[in-house]
């Protein structure tokens, strides 16, 4: 009987302790500063639920959900890219959670719906896209403070810009799409190619750009606003500016269809949308824009950005359906012509800058012609606006990548784009060097 007492005592204690209702797994691209704050606050509010964070970039997160069988998927998808949620919704991988929506969240930011009209995902924060820059480095190198995307294209910015790829970062994908939609396909790619040509590196993750700006590796770079604002309010020597070609769109949260614990997943979504969950966004190390009106919240930092005012002055009316329809095409085009050809693009860009400086404001007729041709070759997309919307091309990129025929077509297309870009950059560098001798 004596031997049974420790066992009985243990069983009594176990019965008295609250049983875990379940584990909520959240797949997200957000940094640890944000996810840890939510994990701590949510588990305190719901001690019977454990929150697990599965950190992946948005593109990898989509692939993970697609490849995981129903019944074993994570409960919540949480990211800054509304077009990524459209991709998941179109593949029937999201489940409505509107029964836990916060009724105080406005319907729209500017003209953009905060919540999915079909109820498959909801806005949890607001996000804008702009330029983060290091004030100390700019002063040391005598670089002007950038206020527009065009500022980062100037010759003095060569080697001082940091970028990442839209295939590695959902926020960079939104930045690229914002520029493409704000400036048009051809002019938008001209901006992206020139900015990439001025870049020092294409970082492996979206975090690489703000980290590089914080530590002075880069002078500036395109980032989602919370990277710039969190660094600024955490006292790094940085500033962040919203160009006119920006957009304010929701950073979304959604319940994944076929998850293990959907009821507990809804509880996390409800918490993230609550007043307590929204005020976590205002912590200096997070510095995101809430979806709840500022009047409903406490302790708004002085000078904190007003998303409504930014959306009102923005020249971009972001079309999420257009972005979703060419989602993988834009990623692949960027990688084949920029990420995998960065060295050649940098060389062509440097040759054009050098020739422009040597020839002055009014180059001779032949030199001007050679230089214009070099710029066209280096800074024009290998696909025009009509080609990118071709139904056959769209169908190939929307197809099953595991299908042998689809895979073969993709490989050929991507190989052609890569090869064409390499040839264009080589010719552009040669033409610019030739122009400089005239």
What is the C-alpha separation between 54 and 46, in angstroms, rounded?
A: 19
Nearest to 181 by CA among 83, 87, 251, 109: 83
Q: What is the pLDDT of residue 207?
A: 87
123: β partners: 252
Class of domain 129-246: alpha beta
Range with the poorest average pLDDT among 121-125, 209-213, 307-311, 370-374:
307-311
Considering the chain, what is the average pLDDT of its residues? Answer: 91
pLDDT at residue 11 is higher than 90:
no
Which residues, at least 6 apart from 185, have a Cβ–Cβ distance to it below 8 Å? 381, 384, 385, 388
pLDDT at residue 216 is higher than 90:
yes
Structure confidence by residue, pLDDT tens digits, 18-28: 335 689 999 99
Structure confidence by residue, pLDDT tens digits, 31-87: 899 999 999 999 999 999 999 999 998 889 999 999 999 999 999 999 988 888 999
Structure confidence by residue, pLDDT tens digits, 237-286: 999 999 988 888 899 999 999 999 999 999 999 999 999 999 999 998 89
CA distances from 267 to 32, 49, 105, 171, 264 (A): 21, 9, 17, 26, 5
Strand 199-203 versus strand 161-164 pairing type: parallel
Angle between helices 170-183 and 82-90 (to 10 degrees): 100
Nearest to 31 by CA among 243, 311, 294, 283: 283
Report the 3 state secondary structure along 98-118.
HHHCCCCCCCEECCEECCCCC
DSSP state, 119? S
Nearest to 78 by CA among 27, 32, 31, 25: 27
3-state secondary structure of 225: helix
| Residue 178 near residue 129, CB atoms below 8 Å | yes
Q: Kindly state the average pLDDT of the residues 380-388.
A: 95
CA of residue 68 relative to chain centroid, distance:
23
Q: How confident is the model at residue 7 (pLDDT cuts 50, 70, 90)?
A: very low
Structure confidence by residue, pLDDT tens digits, 301-337: 888 888 888 888 888 888 888 988 999 999 999 999 9
CA distances from 409 to 393, 405, 406 (A): 10, 6, 5
Token representation of residue 386: 């009509």
Which ranges in 244-364 belong to alpha helices (H)?
Answer: 262-273, 275-280, 307-313, 320-325, 327-337, 342-359
| Residue 193 near residue 225, CB atoms below 8 Å | no
Q: What is the pLDDT of residue 32?
A: 92
What is the C-alpha separation between 269 and 385, in angstroms, rounded?
A: 39
Q: What is the b/e burial string over 12-34, where b = at least 16 CB atoms within 10 angstroms of the residue's CB?
A: eeeeeeeeeebebbbbbbbbeeb
| Residue 378 near residue 352, CB atoms below 8 Å | yes
Q: What is the pLDDT of residue 400?
A: 82
The answer regarding whether domain 18-125+250-302 maps to CATH 3.40.190.10 reads yes
Q: What is the pLDDT of residue 171?
A: 83
What is the C-alpha separation between 380 and 387, in angstroms, rounded?
A: 14
Total Cβ atoms within 10 A of residue 176? 26
Q: How confident is the model at residue 344 (pLDDT cuts 50, 70, 90)?
A: very high
Q: What is the pLDDT of residue 208?
A: 94
DSSP state, 54? E
* Cα dihedral 33→36→37→41 (10° resolution): 180
| Residue 291 near residue 251, CB atoms below 8 Å | no
User: Residues spanned by CATH 3.40.190.10 within the chain?
Assistant: 18-125+250-302, 129-246
């Amino acid at each position: 009987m004596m031997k049974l007492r420790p066992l009985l005592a243990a069983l009594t204690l176990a019965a008295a302790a609250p049983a875990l209702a379940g584990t909520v797994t959240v797949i997200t691209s957000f940094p640890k500063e944000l996810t840890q704050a939510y994990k701590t606050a949510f588990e305190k509010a719901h001690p019977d639920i454990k929150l697990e964070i599965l950190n992946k970039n948005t593109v990898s997160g989509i692939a993970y959900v697609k490849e995981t069988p129903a019944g074993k998927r994570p409960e919540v998808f949480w990211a800054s890219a509304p077009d990524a949620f459209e991709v998941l919704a179109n593949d029937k991988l999201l489940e409505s959670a509107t029964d836990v929506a916060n009724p105080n969240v406005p319907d729209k930011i500017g003209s953009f719906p905060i919540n999915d009209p079909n109820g498959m995902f909801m806005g949890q924060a607001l996000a804008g896209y702009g330029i983060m820059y290091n004030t100390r480095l700019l002063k040391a190198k005598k670089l002007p403070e950038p206020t527009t995307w065009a500022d980062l294209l100037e010759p003095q910015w060569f080697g001082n810009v940091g970028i990442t790829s839209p295939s590695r970062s959902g926020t960079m994908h939104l930045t690229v799409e914002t520029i493409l939609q704000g400036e048009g396909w051809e002019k938008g790619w001209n901006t992206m190619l020139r900015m990439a040509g001025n870049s020092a590196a294409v970082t492996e993750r979206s975090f690489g750009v703000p980290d590089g700006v914080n530590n002075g590796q880069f002078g500036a770079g395109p980032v989602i606003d919370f990277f710039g604002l969190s660094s600024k309010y955490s006292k790094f020597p940085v500033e962040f500016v919203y160009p006119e070609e920006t957009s304010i769109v929701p950073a979304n949260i959604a319940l994944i269809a076929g998850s293990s614990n959907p009821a507990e997943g809804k509880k996390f979504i409800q918490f993230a949308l609550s007043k307590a969950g929204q005020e976590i966004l205002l912590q200096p190390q997070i510095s995101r824009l809430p979806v709840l009106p500022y009047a409903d919240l406490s302790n708004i930092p002085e000078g904190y950005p007003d998303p409504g005012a930014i959306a009102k002055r923005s020249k971009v009316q972001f079309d999420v359906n257009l972005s979703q329809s060419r989602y993988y095409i834009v990623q692949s085009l960027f990688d084949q012509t920029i990420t995998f050809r960065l060295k050649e693009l940098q060389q062509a860009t440097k040759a054009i800058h050098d020739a422009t400086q040597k020839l002055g404001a009014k180059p001779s007729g032949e030199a001007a012609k050679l230089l214009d041709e070099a710029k066209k070759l280096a800074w024009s997309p290998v696909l025009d606006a009509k080609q990118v919307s071709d139904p056959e091309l769209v169908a190939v990129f929307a197809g099953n990548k595991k299908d042998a025929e689809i895979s073969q077509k993709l490989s050929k297309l991507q190989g052609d784009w890569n090869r064409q870009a390499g040839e264009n950059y080589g010719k552009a560098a040669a033409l610019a060097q030739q122009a400089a001798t005239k």
